[in-house]
Amino acid sequence: MMSATGSSNIFWHECPVGKVDRQKLLNQQGCVVWITGLSGSGKSTLACSLDRELHSKGKLSYILDGDNVRHGLNKNLGFKPEDRTENIRRVGEVAKLFADAGLICIASLISPYRDDRDACRAMLQDPNFVEVFMNMPLEVCEGRDPKGLYKLARAGKIKGFTGIDDPYEPPLNCEIEIKQKDGVCPAPSEMAVQVVSYLDQKGFLQA
Domain boundaries, the chain: 19-200
pLDDT of residue 2: 47
Give the number of other Cβ atoms within 10 Å of residue 157's Cβ.
Answer: 10
Question: Domain 19-200 carries which CATH code?
Answer: 3.40.50.300
pLDDT of residue 123: 95
Query: Could you give the CA distance from residue 63 to residue 48 in angstroms, rounded to a whole number?
Result: 8
- Angle between helix axes 43-56 and 188-201 (nearest 10 degrees) is 60
Contact 140, 185 (CB under 8 A): yes
∠ at Cα 118 (49, 140), nearest 5°?
A: 45
What does R_g of the chain's alpha carbons equal in angstroms? Answer: 18
Number of alpha helices (DSSP H) and beta strands (DSSP E) in the chain = 8, 5
pTM of structure: 0.92
Per-residue pLDDT of the chain (207 residues; tens, 9 = 90+): 445 566 678 887 788 899 999 999 999 999 999 999 999 999 999 999 999 999 999 999 999 999 999 999 999 999 988 999 999 999 999 999 999 999 999 999 999 999 999 999 999 987 999 999 999 999 999 999 999 999 999 999 999 999 999 999 999 999 999 999 999 999 999 999 999 999 999 999 999
Catalytic residues: 111
pLDDT of residue 5: 60
